[in-house]
Structure 1
Amino acid sequence: MAVSLYSMLDAPQTSGGGPTLQRVRSFLARVEQQDYVGAIMHFYHADASMQENMNEPRCGRDALLANEMEIVLRYGNMPVRKVERFAVNGRLVFINWQFEIALPSGGRCLFDEIAMQVWDGDRIRSERFYYDPAQLGR
C-alpha cells in the first residue's frame, strides 16, 4: 500500500498544527544521542506509521519499536552525524539523516536518507524515508 504525501496530510488530526522548532530540535537531539527507541516512545503517536521508500508502511508505535530494536540488533551501534539540514513547514518536517553503519564485512558505510514526517501537534503521525538501498550493499 503506497501512501502519498496528500493522503498523509489528509490524515485525521487530533491536536491541530505542527510542532514548534524547539520540539523538532529536541527530536533531532534525541536521535543524535542514538536513543532511537526513546525517540519513538516520546515523539511518535501511538498509531503512527513509518515507510521505507515504496515498501509497505509499518503501523502502530509497537510495530515501530519492534522494527527499531531489530535494526539495532542487526547493525549494532549506528552513530548519526549531527543534522545540518532540516526544514519545517507547518505539519511537514524534512530531515537529511546520515548514519554510519557497520557492515558484516567489518567495514563501515555512510547511509544517507531523507525523512519526510507529518506531525500532528507535538508528535509524529507518519514518516517516510527516501534513500538508495544500494548504499547497504557497499
Structure 2
Amino acid sequence: MQTLQQKIEDLNALVLDGRALEAFELYYHPDVVMQENELAPTVGKDANRQREQDFFGRITDFRGAEVRGVAVGEDLTAVVWHYDYTHQDWGVRNYTQASVQHWQDGLIIREQFFYGS
C-alpha cells in the first residue's frame, strides 16, 4: 500500500510527464471538490474531469512545469508548482501556484489552488 508521500510523488510525476488526466483518474475521489483561489468550487469527479479537459484543451504552448516543494501531513498534502504556458483564453501564464490536497480513503477529496492573477 502506498504512503501519502508516495502517492503525491507519483501524482506529481504523472503531471510532469504530461499525464495529468491519468493522475486525475487514479488519485481523485468520486466526490472531489476542487476550487481555484476563492472562486466557487467545482463539485464531483465528472464536473472536475470536464473542467480539467477544458483547461488542458486550451493550452496552445506548454513550456514547462516544476515542483518547487512538497509537504505531507495527516490526510493532507501541499505542492508548490511553477507553470509556464500559453492559454487560448488567458494568454501567456508564468506563475507559481500552491495546491493543497485533502485525502480521504486514499484519494483526494478536496483540492484548492492558490495563486496570484
TM-score range, shorter chain: 0.7 to 0.9
Q: CA deviation at 1:21?
A: 1.3
Give the 3 Å change call, closer, same or farther, for CA 103–58 of structure 1 in structure 2: closer
CA distance in 2, matches of 1:80, 1:123: 26
CA distance in 2, matches of 1:43, 1:30: 11
CA distance in 2, matches of 1:43, 1:103: 25
Structure 1 residues not aligned, in runs of 5+: 1-18, 134-138
Matches within 5 A, 1:1-138: 19-103=3-87, 108-133=92-117
- Determine which structure has the larger strand proportion and give its number: 2
The structure that has the greater radius of gyration is 1
Percent identity, aligned pairs only, is 26
Root-mean-square deviation over aligned CA pairs: 1.8
Aligned length: 113
Letter in 2 for 1:96: V
Structure 2 residues not aligned, in runs of 5+: none
| 1:54-85 alpha-carbon deviations (Å, 9 max, x no partner) | 11110111111101111112223535423130
- Structure scoring higher RCO (CA < 8 A, sep ≥ 6) equals 1
* TM superposition score normalised by structure 1: 0.74
Preserved contact between residue 63 and residue 84 of structure 2 (Cα < 8 Å): yes
Q: CA deviation at 1:92?
A: 1.1
